[in-house]
């Protein structure tokens, strides 16, 4: 399936690179919805060339985010290595949203249901896998409310995306209140 197409011509490779870094910057600064024309301009390349290399916005997303989503695995690994189930779980949330807060584009990727690139989907699945384990552990240790689920985390993620967007200074406080509500001793 994947045709091992002959290498790109020198100028094409250069332009592809320029487009990629332009898109990476603009996504991070302005989110996933930047006009493609802005990307082309910033890359100092014509709009036609942009479409030659990346026929759809999704192609940009697929090229840029899998690498960034690797950070998710790091965060997951770090949390899984933590022997304290509560600290592991809460730390995971902190790290996850800190990541989102740094990158408007990533924030969009994780908040939307949309992005369909298979590599993105699988990265999210891996992330959900880690989260699942962290949740189970914390529940079994009796420190996390027993009905907590991945679905709740998905909802939280969309809410956090919004909070990060409109008040980037307050997301930590907001999260800490929510997390407080998850502690098992709080139930009742």
Partner DNA sequence: GGCTAAGTCGAGGGTGCCCTCGAATTTTGT
Partner DNA sequence: ACAAAATTCGAGGGCACCCTCGACTTAGCC
Q: What does the binding site for a copy of itself look like in residue numbers (CB under 8 A)? A: 145, 151-152, 155-156, 158-163, 166-167, 170, 173-174, 176-183, 185-187
Q: Is residue 55 within the footprint of DNA (CB under 7 A)?
A: yes
- What CA–CA distances, in Å, run from 110 to 1, 31, 37, 125, 143? 29, 12, 24, 12, 27
Rank residues 11 and 147 by Cβ distance to DNA and give the closer one.
11
Q: Tell me the C-alpha distance between 68 and 127, whole Å.
A: 13
Q: Which of the 8 DSSP states describes residue 33?
A: T
Q: Tell me the C-alpha distance between 162 and 171, whole Å.
A: 9
Backbone angles phi, psi at 16, to 5 degrees: -60, -45
Q: CB under 5 to 8 A by kind: which of DNA, a copy of itself, none does 170 bind? A: a copy of itself
Which region among 30-38, 60-68, 91-99, 126-134 touches DNA (by CB under 7 A)?
30-38
Task: Write down how long the chain is.
Answer: 188
Rank residues 62 and 179 by Cβ distance to a copy of itself and give the closer one.
179
Q: CB under 5 to 8 A by kind: which of DNA, a copy of itself, none does 52 bind? A: DNA
Sign of the Cα pseudo-torsion (62, 149, 89, 107, in order): positive
Q: Is residue 114 within the footprint of DNA (CB under 7 A)?
A: no
- Taking the complex as a whole, the smallest distance from the CB of residue 110 to DNA amounts, in Å, to 21
| Token pair of 12 as six digits | 């094409």
Rank residues 41 and 183 by Cβ distance to DNA and give the closer one.
41
List, in order, residues 6 or more apart from 152 with CB less than 8 Å away.
none
**Which residue(s) pair with 183 in the sheet?**
144
Rank residues 77 and 114 by Cβ distance to a copy of itself and give the closer one.
114
Q: Is residue 112 within the footprint of DNA (CB under 7 A)?
A: no
Enumerate binding residues for DNA (CB under 7 A): 6, 8-12, 14-15, 35-37, 45-49, 51-53, 55-57
């Amino acid at each position: 399936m994947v045709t091992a197409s002959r290498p790109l011509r020198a100028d094409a490779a250069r332009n592809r690179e320029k487009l990629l870094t332009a898109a990476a910057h603009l996504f991070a600064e302005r989110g996933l919805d930047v006009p493609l024309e802005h990307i082309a301009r910033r890359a100092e390349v014509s709009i036609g060339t942009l479409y030659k290399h990346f026929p759809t916005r999704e192609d940009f997303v697929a090229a840029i985010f899998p690498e960034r989503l690797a950070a998710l695995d790091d965060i997951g690994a770090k949390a899984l290595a933590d022997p304290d189930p509560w600290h592991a779980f809460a730390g995971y949330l902190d790290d996850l949203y800190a990541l989102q807060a740094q990158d408007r584009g990533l924030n969009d990727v994780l908040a939307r249901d949309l992005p369909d690139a298979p590599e993105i989907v699988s990265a999210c699945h891996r992330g959900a896998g880690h989260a699942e384990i962290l949740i189970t552990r914390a529940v079994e240790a009796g420190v996390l409310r027993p009905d907590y689920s991945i679905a709740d985390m998905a909802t939280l993620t969309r809410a956090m995306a919004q909070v990060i967007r409109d008040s980037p200074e307050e997301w930590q406080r907001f999260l800490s209140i929510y997390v407080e509500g998850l502690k098992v001793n709080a139930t009742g």
